[in-house]
Amino acid sequence: MNQIYQDFFQLLKSSLQNTKTQIQLSPNYEEILKLASMHKVIPLIYEASYKTESFKQIDQNFCKYFKTTSMQIIYSQIQRSDKFLQLYEKFNQEGLKILVFKGIILRELYPIPDARISGDEDLLIEKRYLKQAIEILESNNMKRVISEEEEADVYHYFCQNTGLHLELHTTLFGVKSITNKKMEEIFSTVFENSDTININNIDIHTFSIDNHFLYIICHAIKHFVSCGTGIRQICDISMYINKYHQNINWDYIWKETTILDYDTLLVNLLQIAIDYLGLEENKIVYQKDKSEYFINTEDLIEDIMEGGIYGASTQARLNAANMSLDALNKESKSKLKSNLAAIFPKAENLKGRYKYLEKYPVLLPLAWASRILTYTKERGSLSSVGATAKETIAVGNRRMDLLKEYKLIK
């Protein structure tokens, strides 16, 4: 592993543990900041950096920039968290039981909660409460954004004053793929099993400890099979175990992850948390002897670190997602077919970017053409688009090999 990654992990670990790093570090802070930005962990890295001796010796303008950036990010998060809690209190007052997952629940696991930022807050709602919830949101300065679709799986709401982005889900995974269907089944009883936790004097309904733990694992792996998972998702898993290890029903976790063929990858993700993020191994209960698993975190770390948050660091990685998703759904037997899937994805995989495909899937060739045109604009010429396509296929093939290595595809 390269020195930058090693220093980055050292800083991240001391931030998660809220301790001053014990090792004398003299990292390349500019590279560390770039990585932190890619993984959306700038405030976490800053919290550990400014406590090191070496930080006091670097360019003061850079220090100031790093500090101001961290401060602004946390400042905005505090405002978003506060707005979210105000809204949630209103839901409670109206007797709506809406489940909160990820977001604020995960932030609370960290020494400085708002240093672990969230792009949005996720809520799971039963359809019968949807109308009432929307009324509350709209009367509290929240505007619907992204899609105006009437029957949606997720309703996006945005607050212009604070930047709070809410995702109101009526379903967790949907039924668009075999894996999603399997996951929907696993999480079909989240409302019956829900728990309540208190944050800043407000009762928050959320998944049970086991459901939530399994969910964040599945969510990380869902992103891994698509474009990639960033280090923050591994931090969340690590911090979750740290807090709830005595309450986690490990038999249940291993049973469900094994059904989904996620167990090998999970063991490797946990190994990264143990080796680099300070997770104590005795907090994990394995279902069988660890030596029976394939463990090789080197390739995984490379992929995680290079990919950034949700593996979205490059356009090639985003495009390559179509190859791995295609392979995962076991529709492609050959690499050639998967390669084509990366360049000419199915309508299903392009609906997010080309909304008209929701109503008119027949316009798929138009979406392919727009996509190529966009890349031409981004890359400057058609030959560069060819280079992107080549890069996409290379990334896609490498990632498909990874999926095989961690037994997600056979």
Partner 1 sequence: MKIKKEFITRNIVGETILVPVGKTATEFNGLITMNDVGVFIWENLELVGNENEMLNKILSEYEVDEKTAKEDMEEFLDILKKADII
User: Half-sphere exposure (CA, 13 Å, Cβ side) for 55?
Assistant: 19
Which candidate, 239, 242, 275, 273, places its Cα nearest to that of 116?
239
For residue 335, the SS3 value is: helix
Nearest approach in angstroms of CB 161 to partner 1 is: 5
Nearest approach in angstroms of CB 94 to partner 1 is: 19
Q: How far apart are CA 51 and CA 53, in angstroms?
A: 7
- Cβ closer to partner 1: 201 or 282? 201
- Cβ closer to partner 1: 79 or 370? 79
User: Half-sphere exposure (CA, 13 Å, Cβ side) for 106?
Assistant: 23
Q: What angle do CA 394, 395, 400 make, to 5 degrees?
A: 100
Token readout for 185 is 């089944």
For residue 39, the SS3 value is: coil
For residue 96, the SS3 value is: coil
- Cβ closer to partner 1: 56 or 359? 56
Nearest approach in angstroms of CB 16 to partner 1 is: 16
Nearest approach in angstroms of CB 114 to partner 1 is: 7
- Cβ closer to partner 1: 82 or 348? 82
Q: How far apart are CA 306 and CA 166, in angstroms?
A: 28
Which residues contribute to the site for partner 1 (CB under 8 A)? 43, 46-47, 50-51, 67, 70-71, 74-75, 78-79, 82-83, 86, 112, 114-115, 161-162
Nearest approach in angstroms of CB 237 to partner 1 is: 24
Nearest approach in angstroms of CB 89 to partner 1 is: 12
Question: Parallel, antiparallel, or unpaired for β 154-158 and 195-199?
Answer: unpaired
- Cβ closer to partner 1: 75 or 356? 75
Nearest approach in angstroms of CB 232 to partner 1 is: 18
- Cβ closer to partner 1: 75 or 294? 75
Nearest approach in angstroms of CB 33 to partner 1 is: 14
| DSSP H helices in 309-363 | 315-328, 335-343, 347-350, 356-359
Residue with tokens 């105000």: 86
Nearest approach in angstroms of CB 43 to partner 1 is: 7
Q: What angle do CA 86, 87, 88 make, to 5 degrees?
A: 95
Q: Is 362 exposed, middle or buried (0-12, 13-18, 19+ CB in 10 A)?
A: exposed
- Cβ closer to partner 1: 86 or 189? 86
- Cβ closer to partner 1: 59 or 251? 59
Q: How far apart are CA 300 and CA 402, in angstroms?
A: 8
Q: Residues 148, 150, 154, 156: is their CA dihedral positive or negative?
A: positive
Can you spell out the DSSP letters for 240-266? HHHHHTTT--HHHHHHHHHHTT-HHHH
- Cβ closer to partner 1: 15 or 226? 15
